[in-house]
Amino acid sequence: MSKVRTGRELLVLSYCETRDPALCDGILIEYKWLVDYIARKFAYNRSDTEDLMQVGTIGLLNSLNRFDPSKDVDFSTFATPNIIGEIKHFFRDKNRIIKIPRKIQELGGKVRAYIRACPGDGRSPTVSEIALALDETEEHVLESMEVSQVTLVVSLDSPAYKSGSFEDTNSTLLDNLGVASTSDAVLIKETLDQALTKLSQREQDVIHLRFFCGLSQVEIGHRLNLSQMHISRLLTKSLHHLKKLLAEYV
């Protein structure tokens, strides 16, 4: 039984047969959604999206010139890894690194060292205790702790989830990038909702405040009357638990 081709796929087949440059513009328009989707997945800021779409379009054109219809593979499936690869090369070449003042970096190291040296009594030191021990203001301590969390440079081939106590090496960040459809989005949301209901109320609270309300760990701590370090550990534990629950649905 022959495969039913969509209009955009027939356009690609026509180009492969004729190599007519006039067809390229139509193909770029038809597959702009694919480039846009992938670019938004990789963009850290909205302002980056336009640059990444230009880079992704280059990957789309390269895919078009290498596509072989006889392989019986959808063009979007063939083009996706090529677009991703072009964007990865762009990031490597541009090599963006966030610059942090040396004073904040040094303080962040002192804070981490102090926390590691604290007695293992199960209680996390408060920000005020750290500030007093290091003769720093609470504001500077909080700044160093927040900065250390947002400036980690992660490879796209890194595990999808990683923390000090847990690492899943079977799934990378790129493994979680794909071409989504409306049905995929509904399924993902339903699966996540089901898994969240199985968490404890405290776990649900910290995940909701962090990822749905957009609060920082410090703000969550104020709401729940807990230290920032306690929230950090609770959040890590909650995400670990949620990941295990989600694995049951796969």
- 68, 59 contact by CB (below 8 A): no
Nearest-10 Cα torsion for 56, 62, 66, 68: 40
Beta bridge partners of 172: 159
The per-residue pLDDT for range 62-78, each reduced to its tens digit, is: 999 999 888 878 888 88
pLDDT bucket at 142, cuts 50 / 70 / 90: confident
Neighbours of 198 (CB within 10 A): 13
Residue 174 and residue 42: Cα distance in Å, rounded? 10
Q: Residue 166: is its pLDDT beyond 50? A: no
Domains identified in the chain and CATH numbers: 7-94 (1.10.1740.10), 97-153 (1.10.10.10), 170-250 (1.10.10.10)
Q: What Å distances lie between residue 181 and 32, 36, 69, 85, CA to CA?
A: 15, 14, 23, 22
pTM of the model: 0.40
Give the model confidence (pLDDT) of 90-119 as tens digits.
876 665 445 567 787 788 888 888 887 876
Q: Is the pLDDT of residue 177 over 90?
A: no
